[in-house]
Structure 1
Amino acid sequence: MSRAGRIRSETVAASRAFLRRRTAVFFTFFFPVIIILIFGALVQTQPTGGGVFAEPAAYYVPGYLAVVVLFTPLSRVGSEVARHREGARFEKLATTPLSRAEWLFAQTLVNVGIIGLAAVLIFGLVVGVTGADIAVSAATVLVVPFVLLGVALFCGFGAVIGSLADSQDGVIAASNGIALPLLFLSETFVSPGLLPEWLPLWLSPLTYFARGVRAVTYAGAPPDPFGLGPVGNLAALGVLAVAFFAVGSVALPRTD
């Protein structure tokens, strides 16, 4: 079987495995809806009064997208790796032509499809619930590669967590412990002006996602401190995605 055939077969199998877990399917889409409803209400009640939710609703679009781009791959891929380890599946996988990189790529494709659908839902809800004025232009299409690369990056990160954690419960705890600080310290919901100047926000890969998506969806986006612009942030995110994916592939165990 060719490499494309192996990846296709694993992608189909992983998709069916996800769809069989109805609770996982439900919360993958329900969680960002709750976030939008809660944060959207806060944004609408405090549009100009200062504080965390003082910016226009469109400012927070990257934050809403980051909820699924960050949390879903970390927890899903990490848990999948942990399940494979507990079931000695990597030992069986080592006897097949499917490489670890191909396995992780198939998992990434599944997450891209899931999160792509969730992102469309989020855009609709953000406009409908918060009344966000999305800036639509030719550059807005860059949201697609931003989401794709963000998912690939955090799938690789999730593979590392799943390879190091001692159980599925450990994966969930580690994923939440990493994702929550990143979500609020990456220029998503909290603007840089409200954070201490000494915080190295540029160390977070999610920062480049937030800056890039905001630049192509919000007309009042602040200037990029590094002068990268949408394409520059996309390139930075791409480099990080390749690095995290490579590390995640290497971290996957050969045996259990």
Structure 2
Amino acid sequence: MSRLQRVASTTRAGWYSFLRRRTAVFFTFFFPVIIVSIFAGLVQTQPTGGGIFAEPPAYYIPGYLAVVVLFTPLSRVGSEIARHRDGSQFEKLATTPLKRWEWLLAQTLVNVVVIGLAGLLLLGLTVLVTGVSIPLSASTLLLIPFVAVGVALFCGLGALLGNFSDSQDGVIAASNAIALPLLFLSETFVTPDLLPTWFRPAMELSPLTYFSRGVRGLTYSDAAPSLVLTNLGILCVLALGFFVAGAVTVPRTD
């Protein structure tokens, strides 16, 4: 079996495994509905006032997408590794030609499809609920690589969490401990001017910041193409680093 066939077979198995977990399917696609409903309501309560959620609704599109791009890969990949470890699946995988990075790549591809569909649903709901208009042009298609690369990055981080956590509960706790601060401190829902001056340079350390800036440049601020591509390039480098780190630490045995 060739490498491509191994990855394709593992991806297909991961996809069917996701579909069999009806609760996971439901909340993966219902979660965006909750997020858009809550945050859109908060934004509309103070459209011109100061403080949090005072920006126009379109400003928060990167934040909505960041929720699924950040939370879902962290918890899904981390939990998958913990589940495989608890079920002694890595010992079985060690007897096959499948390499660790191929297994993680397959998991990442499944998440790219799942989160891509959830993100599309989220964008549709955002337009429907808030009435924002997303500019449609050739550059708007860059949303696809932004989402795909962002998912790959957090799949790598999720793999690290899964390897260093001793249980699925530990994975969920670690995912939330990392994801919640990143979600609000990465130019998503909280604008930089609302944060202390001394803290703002720390936002550059968050990979989600580059996702937010790039997506906002495509959907809201009409940023220069060079700026959008710079953020995408930084995101790609970070995604590669996290993916390699996650693949290296995937267990060979349980």
Give CA-to-partner distance per residue, 1:124-157, whole Å, 9 cap, x none: 1011101123233322111110000000000000
| Structure 2 counterpart of 1:247 | 245
| Alignment length (residue pairs) | 252
Contact 1:60/1:189, CA 8 A, preserved across alignment:
yes
Give CA-to-partner distance per residue, 1:70-120, whole Å, 9 cap, x none: 000000000000001111111111110000000000000100010110111
Deviates more, 1:44-53 or 1:146-155: 44-53
Q: Within 2, Cα distance between the matches of 1:94 and 1:194?
A: 50
Which amino acid in the other structure matches residue 240 of structure 1? Answer: L
Q: Within 1, Cα distance between the matches of 2:126 and 2:60?
A: 9
Q: Within 2, Cα distance between the matches of 1:154 and 1:57?
A: 26
Task: Tell me the TM-score normalized by structure 2.
Answer: 0.97
Q: Within 2, Cα distance between the matches of 1:193 and 1:135?
A: 26
Q: Within 2, Cα distance between the matches of 1:144 and 1:16?
A: 23
| % identical equivalent positions | 69
Give CA-to-partner distance per residue, 1:19-43, whole Å, 9 cap, x none: 1110001111111210100100111
Task: Tell me the TM-score normalized by structure 1.
Answer: 0.96
- Work out whether 1:2 is the aligned partner of 2:2: yes
Give CA-to-partner distance per residue, 1:218-247, whole Å, 9 cap, x none: 0366x9xxx961000000000000000000
Matches within 5 A, 1:162-181: 162-181=162-181
Runs of 4+ in 1 over 2 A off after TM superposition: 135-138
Contact 2:32/2:121, CA 8 A, preserved across alignment:
no
The CA RMSD over aligned residues, in Å, is: 1.3
Deviates more, 1:131-140 or 1:246-255: 131-140
Q: Within 1, Cα distance between the matches of 2:105 and 2:163?
A: 16
Matches within 5 A, 1:1-256: 1-199=1-199, 200-219=202-221, 229-256=227-254
Contact 1:43/1:130, CA 8 A, preserved across alignment:
no
Q: Within 2, Cα distance between the matches of 1:50 and 1:134?
A: 24
Consecutive unaligned residues in structure 2, runs of 5 or more = none
Which amino acid in the other structure matches residue 94 of structure 1? Answer: A
Which amino acid in the other structure matches residue 206 of structure 2? Answer: S
